[in-house]
Amino acid sequence: MNHRGILIVLSGFSGAGKGTLVKALMDQYDNYALSISATTRQPREGEEDGKAYFFKKVEEFQQMIDEGAFIEYAKYVQNYYGTPRAYVEEMLEAGKDVILEIEIQGALKVKEKYPDALFLFVTTPDADTLKNRLTGRGTETEEVIASRLARAGEEAEGIGSYDYLIINDDLDEAVREAHEIIQGEHFRVSRKTAFIEVMKEDLKRFSKGE
Amino acid sequence: MNHRGILIVLSGFSGAGKGTLVKALMDQYDNYALSISATTRQPREGEEDGKAYFFKKVEEFQQMIDEGAFIEYAKYVQNYYGTPRAYVEEMLEAGKDVILEIEIQGALKVKEKYPDALFLFVTTPDADTLKNRLTGRGTETEEVIASRLARAGEEAEGIGSYDYLIINDDLDEAVREAHEIIQGEHFRVSRKTAFIEVMKEDLKRFSKGE
């Protein structure tokens, strides 16, 4: 069954375990591909082009912006980061469910261009757990902790734009839950229009006795 | 976790195996309850009230209609059939996912009253398989078969009102698929508003240093 994959936009609270969840999904199932960002920052030692990032010169990145080659992009500090559309499209066409791990702001931009993307938000089972994770091992200043909590509060305001919550209490359970949600999504009627059209046409022929 | 259950409206082509699917879901998992219809038809031998049906006198049924006690009802031949709201509500409040097996016309009425119900449509993997099932063992007249196929064609026109397709090729797979879709649905953001509100409130308190 060679169907187009689903674009999965995955966000969540810092400290909710997004990275671990994504890694586990990639390790345990073979239907996923990870979107690779492009960046203008310098590769660190041992970083290969096309693995964690596509490394671009500022002019190259600027040209890609001009060509509309990004699903979304943003500038952090002095460097650009963006999601190249070509790689995502290639993987979707190959039938892979493509995971795009991204902040809420970027996620909203993706929604404009891919309204049929599946939006998942990863959270701890409650705010106390999140607070404990953000507080760390007691090595952070009160100021840092307060700013992390304020940020989590802002992130929480954006949850309404997502489709499903992934509650990461037990990792294995969260991974299974995320996988089930994504697999179920393939059977959504709005994603099965081709199947339904063929069914209708065939039934029309049959009932005419053809 | 005592959450309200989900109302599952399940329809599908005659011959697609709805009944078998529902039975398997009920047998294999304990989170489901089956909606029980009320009817004015006479109980057959051995039929207990409150098992397959709630048996009602015509006046009783009429009164229930007047009181708005039905989620939907219809008259077939000379008998009334309806879905009593009270039983469904009781099961939903008890945290059960309530399965309502119903024809498309009835399903659309349910949608008006329960816009957050989950609508599943059961289909064979293709029209040929459906045709074979409807054709039966060669004992049916051409007329009967043609009318069944025409009806299937009409049913197909209604699929767009459903949320998910359950493609019943292999029964075990279809059961698992249906179960995964329903379980995933519990994590839909629109069904987790209480969880999200608590999270927001707690984070607000925390970031004020409370």
The yes-or-no verdict on residue B45 having pLDDT over 80 is yes
For A21-50, b/e burial (b = at least 16 CB within 10 A) is bbebbeeeeeebbbbbbbbbeeeeeeeeee
Q: How far apart are the first and last CA of chain B?
A: 27
Residues A202, B127: C-beta atoms closer than 8 Å:
yes
Q: How far is B14 from chain A (nearest CA, A)?
A: 13
Ranges for all domains in chain A classified under CATH 3.40.50.300: 1-31+96-210
A207 at the B interface (CB within 8 A)? Answer: yes
At the topology level of CATH, where does B1-31+97-210 sit? Rossmann fold (3.40.50)
**DSSP 3-state of B80:** strand
Chain B CB contacts of A184 below 8 Å = 164, 177, 180-181, 184-185
Q: Give the residues across from B32 on adjacent strands.
A: B97
For the stretch A98-123, pLDDT in tens is 999 999 989 999 999 999 999 999 99
* Total length of chain B: 210
Give contacts of B 164-203 with A, CB under 8 A.
Answer: 164-167, 177, 180-181, 183-185, 187-189, 192, 195-196, 198-200, 202-203
Ranges for all domains in chain A classified under CATH 3.30.63.10: 36-94
Give contacts of A 102-121 with B, CB under 8 A.
Answer: 121
User: Mean pLDDT per segment of 10 residues, for chain A of length 210 residues?
Assistant: 86 93 96 95 91 94 96 92 95 97 91 94 95 81 86 93 96 96 95 94 85
Token readout for B175 is: 């059961």
What ipTM was predicted for this assembly? 0.87
Token readout for A147 is: 């700013």
Percent of chain B with pLDDT over 70: 99
CB atoms under 10 Å from CB of A208, counted, come to 11
Question: CATH code for A1-31+96-210?
Answer: 3.40.50.300
User: Closest chain A residue to B124 measured between Cα atoms?
Assistant: A199
Q: How far is A143 from chain B (nearest CA, A)?
A: 10
A/B interface, count of CB pairs below 8 Å = 119
State which H helix or E strand residue A182 sits in.
helix A171-185
Q: How far is A38 from chain B (nearest CA, A)?
A: 30
Q: How far is B165 from chain A (nearest CA, A)?
A: 5
Nearest to B197 by CA among A48, A42, A181, A123: A123
Mean pLDDT of chain B: 93
For the stretch A15-33, pLDDT in tens is 899 999 999 999 999 999 9
pLDDT at A105: 87
Chain A CB contacts of B203 below 8 Å = 127, 130, 149, 152-153, 156
Q: Residue B188 is nearest to which of A163, A196, A204, comparing CB atoms? A: A163
Average pLDDT over residues B32-52: 93
pLDDT at B143: 85
pLDDT at A142: 83
User: Closest chain A residue to B204 measured between Cα atoms?
Assistant: A153
pLDDT at A28: 97
Question: CATH code for A36-94?
Answer: 3.30.63.10
Q: Residue A199 is nearest to which of B156, B183, B204, comparing CB atoms? A: B156
For A198-207, b/e burial (b = at least 16 CB within 10 A) is ebbebbeebb
Largest Cα–Cα distance of chain B, in whole Å?
78
Q: How far is A82 from chain B (nearest CA, A)?
A: 27
B163 at the A interface (CB within 8 A)? Answer: yes
Mutate to test the interface with A, among B1, B173, B189, B210 (most CBs of A within 10 A): B189
Please list, in sequence order, all residues whose beta carbon lies within 8 angstroms of the beta carbon of residue A156, skipping any fewer than 6 positions away: A13, B196, B199, B200, B203
**Would you place residue B2 in the very low, low, confident or very high pLDDT band (cuts 50, 70, 90)?**
low
For the stretch B53-108, pLDDT in tens is 999 999 999 999 999 999 999 998 899 999 999 999 999 999 999 999 999 989 99
pTM of the entire predicted model:
0.90
pLDDT at B147: 86
